[in-house]
Chains A and B, each alone.
Chain A
Amino acid sequence: MFDYKFNRTTLVYLLPIALLIISLFVGRYQTPLSAVVDESISTFSSFFFGTPASISTQHTVLFNVRLPRILAALLVGAALSISGASFQGIFRNPLVSPYILGVGSGAGFGACLAILLWNNYLIIQLMAFAFGLLAMFIAISMGKVSKGTGTLVFVLSGIIVSSIFTALTSLAKYVADPYDQLPAIVFWLMGSLATVRYGDLLYILLPIFIGTLVLFLFRWRINILSLGDEEAKALGMDVEKMRLVIIVCATLVTSAAVSVSGVIGWVGLVVPHISRMIVGPNYSRLLPMSMVIGASFMLVVDDLSRTIVATEIPLGILTSLVGAPVFAYLIKKGRMGWN
């Protein structure tokens, strides 16, 4: 079980790479295979040998529009899924999503506030990120103030924080300019990767990398936290400290992802379940699988969002429209991977 076997499960790990290549071809602007190959070669040679870079439309479409967006979809999907899986483990609840501690509502309000006050793309991202983290810190400190530091207290604190930020977001919508700001707010809240550039990826890469790395290193320990506080303590775990580290890292990853994509539901909740059906509940295998499935799922959904109709369909809508039936089908098949 721990030894390496080349089987279908291993093949799943190649899925994101295959999808990345396929996604380069997908879009309203036609790019035949030969063009993609030509442009790839010229880009590589300009990158490595300093030959003049291509300035053709094809080049712009492939490498300045599609590729950053593809990379963002992979990154955001992986981030939301690893954090969802981690939260499910430490809260011992398979119905938990990355937004359990109010991170989504916090980030949403941060973005709304930025749209109202500055309407600068960079500040919107920054505010979304900062308010996501702020929501978590408020939830954690509320959870710590009350004496019983069980997971239930954290969940309740998350609900409280969430409802406050949701109310504030509604207030922001209410006072927003209905012709200019309100559509921007609504569009941001539904989630989209349409405007992603390489620069955005650079900002979120570091927090996502750090958070993911720590979660990845602690992945086996999440198994033990999922047994409950008393048993984890009996197995020599400093439960409070470990739980805090995982909450902070999962939130860091979620906030960073949400800051470029907007609040995208379903992915962080459903992907861990699909992954559990493939590799079982052991977090040693579940976390890497969740990242791979999450990245793939998000990329497919984003491909759909930019091809189905002439205008963009917001991602948050599609993740639910695609994710919910898939999930329903899997539940019917009855291999849930939890009790």
Chain B
Amino acid sequence: MELMLEVKSLAFSYGNRPIFENVSFSLKKGEIMCILGPNGAGKSTLIKCIAGILKPDNGSVFIQGKDTVSLGVRGIARNIGYVPQQNEVVFPFTVLDFVVMGRAPHLSMFASPGAEDIKLAKESLAMVGISDLAERPVAKLSGGQSQMVLIARALVQKPALLLLDEPTSHLDFGNQILVLETVQKLASLGMSIVMNTHMPDHAFLLGDRAAALSGGRLVAVGKVETVVTSKMMSSVYGVNVAIREIEDMKRKVCLPLRR
């Protein structure tokens, strides 16, 4: 299968404080990669480095075989969609106005979006199931709704790779599952996805690939079953964890153990 993303020995530091180094992994078309790790391990930083928002000290990111450095900001934005954890809009744009902004990397500098761009925005709203919110102000939405709006905006970029930074972190139980289902749907349509999550169980639910970032290194990467093990999770999060197979659901779960 086509190789979509290649991250080669990436390193980043804030001033003198190294965040991570020697991070390498790759992702094929339609694959989902869940990045796990404790708070402050650098998961968000890693995503931002891949998205070209932060400049890594070392290493390189290839998207469909092309070095992102040579693509430039606009080129990266045409290939990679970035969904931030939360957005703080100062001005209450309508959902449609907001989602259309995802067309920015495809429009010439002086252009405003036209009918075709509006159509694409409406399509991606429909894709994530929030067409009815189109005229609502972004700031008045619930956590789940605004996460979907952010995903819709990234989809309008028509990216080959979607990066999500803890998309479920502020959501209730139902909305978490809704976001995961959306992610799975997008992957089945051929989009590659890298997603940070603080719930190891989400990696099982998505059932594809996983990586664990801890102590500035990628300590494990591969199939979910090989990464999310009780030994690995216990060492990454510093608490005792059990992995159990639920027979009738035919999937594994990751549960904390009582001390």
Contacts and interface: CB of A to CB of B under 8 A. Distances in A.
Interface of A: 1-2, 89, 92-94, 217-221, 223-224, 226-228, 230-231, 233-238, 276, 280-282, 284, 337-339
A92 B89 CA distance: 9
B173 interface: no
Contact of A217 (B48, B97, B110): B110
B99 to A, nearest CB: 11
Interface in B148-198: 157
Nearest to A216: B110
Contacts of B157: 235-236
Contact of A220 (B76, B84, B102, B113): B113
Given A217-B110, A339-B90, A282 B97 contact: yes
A172 to B, nearest CB: 37
B249 interface: no
Given A94-B90, A235-B102, A2 B78 contact: no
B37 to A, nearest CB: 20
Contact of B87 (A223, A231, A233): A231
B107 to A, nearest CB: 8
A338 B97 CA distance: 15
A303 B92 CA distance: 34
Interface string B62-83: 0000000000011111100110
B51 A94 contact: no
Contacts of B101: 223-224, 227, 235
Contact of A236 (B76, B111, B114): B76
Given A220-B111, A224-B104, A236 B78 contact: yes
A219 B110 CA distance: 8
B91 A226 contact: yes
A83 B35 CA distance: 44
Contact of A218 (B81, B89, B97, B110): B110
A337 B87 contact: no
A263 B112 CA distance: 33
Interface string B88-132: 111111101100011011000111111100100000000000000
Given A236-B105, A339-B139, A2 B115 contact: yes
Contacts of B51: 233-234
B94 A236 contact: no
A237 B73 contact: yes
B77 A236 contact: yes
B74 A1 contact: no
Q: Which of B101, B113, B118 has the most CB of A within 10 A?
A: B101
19 contacts: A1-B97, A89-B91, A217-B110, A220-B112, A223-B97, A224-B104, A227-B89, A230-B48, A230-B53, A230-B84, A233-B52, A233-B73, A234-B82, A234-B84, A235-B105, A235-B157, A282-B97, A284-B112, A339-B92
A219 B112 CA distance: 8
A226 B89 CA distance: 8
B53 A281 contact: no
A93 B118 CA distance: 27
A337 to B, nearest CB: 7
Given A228-B88, A235-B104, A238-B73, A282 B110 contact: no
Contact of B94 (A92, A217, A234, A280): A280
Contact of A227 (B76, B87, B96, B112): B87
B48 A282 contact: no
Nearest to B78: A236
Nearest to A91: B90
B109 A221 contact: yes
B109 A338 contact: no
A281 B104 contact: no
Contacts of A233: 51-53, 73
A84 B102 CA distance: 26
A50 B89 CA distance: 58
Q: Which of A217, A227, A284, A337 has the most CB of B within 10 A?
A: A227
Contacts of A1: 94, 96-97
B91 A338 contact: yes
B181 to A, nearest CB: 24
A281 B91 contact: yes
Contacts of A227: 87, 89, 101
B91 A337 contact: yes
B90 A338 contact: yes
Contacts of B93: 223, 280-282
B53 to A, nearest CB: 5
A234 B113 CA distance: 18
Would you list the 6 A-B pairs with minimal beta carbon distance, nearest first? A236-B77, A236-B105, A281-B91, A234-B82, A236-B74, A220-B112
Given A2-B115, A226-B91, A235-B101, 8 more contacts: A1-B97, A219-B112, A224-B101, A227-B89, A230-B84, A235-B102, A235-B105, A339-B92
Contacts of B96: 1
A36 B110 CA distance: 42
Contacts of A238: 73-74
Contacts of B74: 236, 238
Contact of B84 (A2, A94, A231): A231
A227 B111 CA distance: 18
B15 to A, nearest CB: 9
Q: Which of A93, A233, A338 has the most CB of B within 10 A?
A: A233
A237 B109 CA distance: 9
B127 to A, nearest CB: 18
B59 to A, nearest CB: 19
